[in-house]
Amino acid sequence: QFFIMYPVTGRFGVVWVSARRLIIRHYLTTWFAVDIVSILPFDVIGLLAASEDLSKLRLFRSVRLLRLLKLVRLVRGMRILKRWETELSFSYRKLTLGNLFLTVIVAAHWMSCALGLISNVQGDACLQEDMDDPPGCVMTWFSHFAADMVTPWDCYIVALHVTATIIV
């Protein structure tokens, strides 16, 4: 952030400030505080705080409020995307197609993570329907794949495949 020029509107139009000292001062007075607060590990700070019930409650409320500052960083990210959009001058059709593609990818990832979580919450998966399985095992969508003791990556790939099937 200490190297990104910023625009200043003057009498003669917009001028981009490229002096490093001015860029640093501008960043320190604008987004620096938000960036510092948003990267602090509030959960750890909450655990290390005093154990009084009232102070925990106040700290918990303030931690939730400070977490909202992390969302403020998204505003800056959107500003950067808008700047790239104007600089690169993509057509509206290409931008819409790219946004749709990115939305589908993110939705598929979230659905895959949700399916993996659901399979973990459901309990021990049965290995096969016709075998003697331990009591309490539940046949899930992942039961067929659980017989091979798959890695988390393999579990994610299977969940992604199931998600793609659901989406299509």
Encode pLDDT of 49-65 as tens digits.
555 554 555 556 666 66
pLDDT at 108: 93
Residue predicted with more confidence, 37 or 133: 37
- Model confidence at 22, pLDDT cuts 50, 70, 90, reads very high
98 is a domain residue: yes
CA dist 168 → 88, 161, 162 (Å)? 32, 11, 10
Q: What angle do CA 164, 165, 167 make, to 5 degrees?
A: 65
103 is a domain residue: yes
104 is a domain residue: yes
Domain that holds residue 133: 90-168
Query: Considering its fold, how many domains does the chain have in total?
Result: 1
For residue 119, pLDDT over 50 is answered with yes
Pick from 118, 95, 103, 112: nearest CA to 162: 112
Q: How far apart are CA 39 and CA 46, in angstroms?
A: 14
40 is a domain residue: no
Residue predicted with more confidence, 95 or 41: 95
Pick from 27, 28, 7: nearest CA to 17: 7
Q: What is the CA radius of gyration of the chain?
A: 25
37 is a domain residue: no
Looking at the DSSP bridge assignments, the partners of residue 27 are: none
113 is a domain residue: yes
46 is a domain residue: no
Q: Which residue has the tokens 């939730």?
A: 64
For residue 75, pLDDT over 90 is answered with no
125 is a domain residue: yes
The DSSP symbol for 1 reads -
